[in-house]
Amino acid sequence: MRDEKTIALFEEILTRTKQGRLPWEPDVSGTTLLAAIKGKYSLVLRPYTALDSYGAEFGSPSLIMKDASDRELVTITTSTDGVPGDALQDLYEVARRQALKVDEQVQDLLSDLRSL
């Protein structure tokens, strides 16, 4: 079933992430990304959809919206009608680069290499 509010939520998160306006941070694993929104909501962005019975990750990225009580309100995956899989992958990659400060680190390495 196509949920227009879920699609609008995803599109807004993608837009704000591309603008650098969401505070994505890595969790202890370094692969799951978290963003707190005004102390009322949190977003969890994983590079996978689920875990198999052995704990191995599989599937494309998933986005979970939680409330202040840590209850899952919305889960967005590639099976969410109206959310293209490539857009979900794009969200994860942009958020990951921001959370891990990839561009700054690449620039630092380039500077180091040029000074050799």
**Sole residue written with tokens 């969790």:** 27
Calculate ∠ Cα 78-80-86, nearest 5°: 35
Domain ranges of the chain: 4-114
pLDDT digits 0-9 by tens, 29-84: 889 999 999 999 999 999 988 888 888 888 889 999 999 999 999 999 999 999 99
Q: Is the entire prediction scored with pTM above 0.75?
A: yes
- Tell me the CA distances in angstroms from 4 to 8, 32, 72, one per residue in order: 6, 26, 18
For the chain, what percent of residues have pLDDT higher than 90? 83
